[in-house]
Amino acid sequence: MSLSDHDFEEATSQIAYEMYHFRCLAQIYREGNRGRGLWWQLVSQSLLLHLRILIEFFYWDTRNARDISIRHFIERDDFPCPLELHSPPLTITLVSSTPNRPEEMSLRQVKEALDQRLIHFGKGRSTGYHPGHEDYALCFDDLERRIRAFRTALPKDLKSVFDFKLSQLVGRVKCLSAPIREGPSLTW
């Protein structure tokens, strides 16, 4: 699929949204600022949803013609592809204490587990192994490196789109109410 300049601008704005929310939610998770009850469920499910989107964006080619992945950006002449954006990890070693957990899962299996948990309503929700949050957290550092490398590699015009979207999102954080009063402080 060939993308126009406008397509890249829209994709950059949308992926900035996903990256920002993933990073905020991952920071809340890491700092143990999760809250309890419904608040934790909301944070948790949002984190996993943004994680799933970024796994698909960074870790493999798209399956249908309407999806956009890192490959579309890498194919641009003005996008110097940093090493961090090459070769996604093939597996993650699982660490949670969840019963019946395998020692490792491929990233495709991780994405499929997220699909079953977040998107599909079917038998897959109650069968098979579903990674715990500790397992998913293993992807956070790799995605963090990829996000930073992606932003750094963006051509000037797309970096402006990315940064403009971030400024809009950061401005909205001031409207947050309990249980967190301010958004995480992220450096880009």
Q: What is the pLDDT of residues 27-38, one digit of tens each?
A: 888 887 666 778
Q: Is residue 37, in this structure, part of any structural domain at all?
A: yes
Burial 43-53 (b: 16+ CB within 10 A, else e): bbeebbbbbbb
**Highest-pLDDT range among 22-26, 80-84, 110-114, 167-171:** 22-26
Residue 15 lies in a domain: yes
Q: Give residue 170's pLDDT band: very low, low, confident or very high (50, 70, 90).
A: confident
Within a domain: residue 167? yes
- Omega of the bond prior to 89 within 30 degrees of 0, cis? no
> What is the reported pTM?
0.82
HSE-up (13 A, CA, CB side) for residue 33: 14
Token readout for 28 is 């809340």
The number of residues making up the chain comes to 188
What mean pLDDT value characterizes the chain?
80
pLDDT given at position 110: 78
pLDDT of 182 reads: 46
Residue pLDDT, tens place only, 114-151: 877 777 666 656 666 667 777 778 788 888 888 999 99
CB contact set of 150 (below 8 Å; sequence gap of 6+)? 15, 19, 58, 70, 73, 85
Note whether residue 99 is domain-resident. no
Parent domain of 161 = 5-90+133-173
Residue 176 predicted with pLDDT over 50:
no
pLDDT > 70: percent of the chain: 80
**For 38-82, what is each residue's pLDDT tens digit?**
878 888 889 989 998 998 898 876 667 788 989 899 999 999 988
Here the tokens at position 145 are: 């490196």
Domain assignment of residue 114, yes or no = no
pLDDT at 150: 94
**More reliable by pLDDT, 43 or 174:** 43
Quick check: is 44 in a domain?
A: yes
CB 43 within 8 A of CB 29: yes
Q: Decide if 98 is inside a domain.
A: no
Mean pLDDT of 150-156: 94
The amino acid occupying position 156 is: K
Asked whether residue 119 is assigned to any structural domain, the reply reads no
Report which residue type is found at 129: Y
What per-residue confidence (pLDDT) applies to 156? Answer: 96
3-class secondary-structure state, position 4: coil
Residue 113 has pLDDT above 90, yes or no: no
Q: What single-letter amino acid sits at 180?
A: I
The gap from C-alpha 157 to its chain's centroid, in whole angstroms, comes to: 23
How many domains does the chain divide into?
1
Q: Kindly give the residue spans of alpha helices, DSSP state H, lying in 119-155.
A: 133-136, 138-153
Answer yes or no: is pLDDT of 180 > 70.
no
Q: Give one DSSP letter per residue of 19-49, joined into a string.
A: HHHHHHHHHHHHTT---SHHHHHHHHHHHHH
CB 51 within 8 A of CB 143: yes
- What is the dihedral sign for C-alpha 18, 19, 25, 29? positive
Q: Are 151 and 12 in contact (CB under 8 A)?
A: no
